[in-house]
């Protein structure tokens, strides 16, 4: 990954690197190897490899930070799994809601890409709407942003929701480095992880 990024950006001038990682991040490092990528992430020295300061944050948290406007916002990322993060008054709090029990399995088992393929769009959309309703009731956000690659497969958005965009992760990556109080920021570039 580092070699590919360095090849693509060889003519760029940059001072820092932001990485959105698809899994738990603790103290600016991936906590466990990702399920959908090759191994080698845990223990890798990204700062030495890039020769620049590096901040690593969960990928859903990065997109949430880039999607944030004001108040209390919940981000739900419909992709391979179910990403989640809460942004309150500009501070992002990565979450692992996907692995909480839901029906006969977990939220991710009903909202992830496997559920979409196995159960079909109609049932998947119904489950996503029910999950959003439960999250709204439990966390009481001002709004929910639904992002991720499968968000566009929803026919309509539930109340108090707006559609996110994967491109917002880029803005989130820039916001990780901002120091001004007026700009949303990460509470820290880490996430408390669940035990595997």
Q: How does pLDDT run across 133-187, given as a tens digit for each residue?
A: 999 999 999 999 999 999 999 999 998 999 999 999 999 999 999 844 444 455 5
Fold of 71-165: Nucleotidyltransferase; domain 5 (3.30.420)
195 pLDDT tier (thresholds 50, 70, 90) = very low
Tens digits of residue pLDDT in 109-126: 999 999 999 999 999 999
**pLDDT for res 83:** 94
CA distance 159 to 165: 18
List the structure tokens of 16. 């820092």
For residue 50, the tally of other CB atoms under 10 A from its CB is 17
Cα 126 to Cα 95, 165, 168: the distances in Å are 23, 21, 26
Q: What local confidence, expressed as pLDDT, does residue 182 receive? A: 41
190 pLDDT above the threshold of 50: no
76-119 tens-digit pLDDT = 999 989 999 999 999 999 999 999 999 999 999 999 999 999 99
Please report which helix (H) or strand (E) contains residue 17, including its range. strand 17-21
178, 66 Cβ separation under 8 angstroms: no
According to the model, what pLDDT value does residue 186 have? 54
The torsion region of residue 44 among left (phi > 0), alpha (psi -120 to 50) and beta comes to beta
pLDDT category at 37 given cuts 50, 70, 90 is confident
């Amino acid at each position: 990954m580092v070699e590919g990024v360095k090849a693509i950006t060889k003519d760029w001038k940059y001072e820092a690197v932001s990485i959105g990682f698809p899994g738990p991040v603790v103290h600016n490092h991936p906590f466990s190897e990702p399920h959908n990528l090759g191994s080698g992430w845990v223990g890798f020295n990204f700062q030495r490899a890039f020769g620049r300061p590096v901040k690593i944050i969960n990928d859903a948290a990065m997109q949430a930070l880039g999607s944030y406007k004001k108040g209390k916002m919940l981000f739900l990322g419909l992709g391979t799994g179910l990403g989640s993060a809460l942004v309150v008054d500009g501070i992002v709090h990565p979450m692992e809601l996907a692995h909480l029990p839901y029906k006969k399995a977990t939220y991710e088992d009903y909202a992830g890409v496997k559920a979409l393929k196995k159960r079909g769009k109609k049932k998947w959309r119904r489950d996503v709407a029910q999950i959003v309703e439960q999250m709204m009731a439990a966390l009481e956000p001002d709004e929910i942003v639904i992002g991720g690659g499968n968000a566009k497969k929803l026919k309509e958005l539930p109340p108090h929701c707006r559609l996110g965009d994967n491109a917002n992760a880029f803005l989130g990556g820039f916001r990780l480095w901002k120091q001004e109080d007026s700009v949303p920021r990460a509470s820290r570039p880490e996430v408390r992880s669940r035990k595997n």
